[in-house]
Amino acid sequence: AQSVTQPDIHITVSEGASLELRCNYSYGATPYLFWYVQSPGQGLQLLLKYFSGDTLVQGIKGFEAEFKRSQSSFNLRKPSVHWSDAAEYFCAVYGGATNKLIFGTGTLLAVQP
């Protein structure tokens, strides 16, 4: 069965600094991979997704993620963080065998002025 691990529960970065959030997945074939963001009191919003093709994926709000099959990773990056990026970020994997989207436990991002 597929699974997702987000090893960092909480990360704090300074505004303007670069950001990388880690995500590792477990799945036998090429998965569909997603990053969602959840602002306080809100539902989740899709940032970006990877299905196939170019392993560097661009998303909304200046985010990108890179699929690395050899490392089973799909890390989220942003070159310069804004205070409005403070939120919780969820990596998710879809596997055809279970026909479900499985979410990681989330990484809570705090942004210092």
Binding site for other proteins (CB under 8 A): 32, 34, 36, 41-46, 49, 51, 90, 94, 96, 99-101, 103-106
| CB of 4 vs other proteins, minimal distance in Å | 10
**What is the separation of C-alpha 1 from the centre of its chain, rounded to a whole number of angstroms?**
20
Q: Is the CB of 18 or the CB of 100 nearer to other proteins? A: 100
| CB of 97 vs other proteins, minimal distance in Å | 12
Q: Is the CB of 14 or the CB of 45 nearer to other proteins? A: 45
| CB of 79 vs other proteins, minimal distance in Å | 24
For residue 22, give the nearest of 7, 33, 36 by alpha carbon: 7
Q: Is the CB of 43 or the CB of 53 nearer to other proteins? A: 43
| CB of 80 vs other proteins, minimal distance in Å | 26
3-state secondary structure the chain: CCEEECCCCEEEEECCCCEEECCEEECCCCCEEEEEEECCCCCEEEEEEECCCCCEEECHHHCEEEEEHHHCEEEEEECCCCHHHCEEEEEEEEECCCCEEEECCCEEEEEEC
Q: Is the CB of 51 or the CB of 83 nearer to other proteins? A: 51
